[in-house]
């Protein structure tokens, strides 16, 4: 199964909010014909109306993929529109946070291949990372297809077990918010040192964004990058002596709290 199977049989996208829109933009940019994409979205944007996709119309009998991109709290209302696609011929791909594979197996019925995915918000600019895991009905070609579809918005990694999804949620799913807060905190500290709010925010935003890009694009161990910029007895060392005394434990507790909440949501 490959992307040409999607072009031949179609793809159903349930929900076209921020993440659904990011995926759709990536697929269209990658050359997937808009006419083979069937979108179910009760409040379509003007942009969506202008894409040429099949919007809120009849669904194909056995599309290659049915992608669920609605919020978990809307799942009960939205899923009935798609459950007839269960049974084996259509791959169900979910990016709904906190909703386990078992919930989709129950909704779509026995024999349904299901892939659960956790993307993150940098997908909006094609710099996301998505973790995926499939159920026992999912074939290797279907996993490859899910990976190809999600690669439209960034990197994709495969998990060994669904139990790892809570940690992924806590690190990469929730992680952008931690980084945004770091930018806020760094900018506030810069203001305290006498910089204007605009300059403080500009410096903080560019520093965090540039450092992250350097770490990702070079592939260098971040510990080595840290050492490279830290001169003995210099300004960076003075700052790190404060930060490294508290940050590692704070981050551990932050990730644990998010993972614990993800575990709770999965049991709800």
- pLDDT one-digit tens code per residue, 5-25: 899 999 999 999 999 999 999
- Residues within the annotated binding site? 14-19, 56, 69-72
58 DSSP 8-state letter: P
CA 3 to mean position of chain CA atoms:
20
173 DSSP 8-state letter: I
Measured over the CA atoms of residue 74, residue 32, residue 110 and residue 165, the dihedral's sign is: negative
Collapsed DSSP state (helix, strand, coil) of residue 131: strand
What's the pLDDT at 83?
Answer: 87
Q: pLDDT tens digit string along 20-31?
A: 999 999 999 999
- The mean predicted confidence, pLDDT, of the chain is 94
What's the pLDDT at 82?
Answer: 86
Q: How many residues does the chain have?
A: 268
- Residues within the annotated binding site for NADP(+)? 14-19, 69-72
Given a cut of 50, whether residue 188 has pLDDT beyond it is yes
Note whether 72 and 31 are within 8 A (CB): no
Given a cut of 50, whether residue 172 has pLDDT beyond it is yes
Q: pLDDT tens digit string along 60-115?
A: 999 999 999 988 777 777 788 888 999 999 999 999 888 899 999 999 999 999 99
Task: Give all domains of the chain, ordered by start, each with its CATH number.
Answer: 3-162 (3.40.50.720), 173-267 (1.10.3730.10)
68 forms beta bridges with: 14, 94
Collapsed DSSP state (helix, strand, coil) of residue 40: strand
What's the pLDDT at 2?
Answer: 64
Given a cut of 70, whether residue 1 has pLDDT beyond it is no
d(CA 42, CA 56): 8
Residues 221-234, mean pLDDT to the nearest whole number: 97
d(CA 94, CA 105): 12
Q: pLDDT tens digit string along 122-132?
A: 999 999 999 99
Note whether 128 and 121 are within 8 A (CB): yes
What's the pLDDT at 53?
Answer: 97
Q: Please give the helix or strand (H or E) that residue 229 lies within, else none.
A: helix 222-229
- Residues within the annotated binding site for NADPH? 56
Residues 43-69, mean pLDDT to the nearest whole number: 95
137 DSSP 8-state letter: T
- CA separation (Å) from 158 to 24, 125, 150? 22, 21, 12
């Amino acid at each position: 199964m490959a992307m040409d199977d999607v072009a031949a049989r179609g793809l159903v996208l349930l929900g076209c909010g921020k993440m659904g829109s990011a995926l759709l933009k990536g697929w269209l940019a990658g050359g997937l014909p808009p006419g083979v994409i069937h979108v179910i979205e009760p409040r379509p944007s003007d942009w969506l109306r202008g894409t040429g996709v099949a919007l809120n119309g009849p669904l194909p009998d056995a599309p290659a993929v049915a992608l669920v991109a609605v919020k978990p709290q809307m799942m009960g209302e939205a899923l009935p529109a798609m459950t007839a696609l269960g049974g084996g011929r259509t791959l169900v791909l979910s990016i709904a946070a906190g909703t386990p594979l078992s919930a989709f197996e129950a909704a779509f019925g026995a024999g349904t291949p299901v892939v659960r995915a956790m993307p993150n918000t940098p997908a909006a600019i094609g710099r996301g990372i998505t973790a995926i895991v499939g159920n026992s009905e999912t074939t290797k070609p279907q996993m490859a297809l899910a990976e190809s579809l999600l690669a439209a918005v960034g990197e994709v990694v495969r998990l060994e077990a669904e139990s790892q999804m809570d940690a992924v949620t806590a690190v990469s799913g929730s992680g952008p918010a931690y980084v945004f807060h770091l930018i806020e905190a760094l900018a506030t500290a810069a203001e305290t040192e006498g910089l204007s709010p605009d300059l403080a925010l500009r410096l903080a935003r560019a520093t965090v964004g540039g450092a992250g890009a350097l770490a990702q694009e070079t592939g260098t161990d971040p510990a080595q990058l840290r050492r490279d910029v830290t001169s003995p007895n210099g300004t960076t060392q003075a700052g790190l002596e404060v930060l490294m005394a508290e940050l590692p434990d704070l981050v551990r507790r932050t990730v644990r709290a998010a993972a614990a909440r993800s575990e709770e949501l999965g049991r709800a």
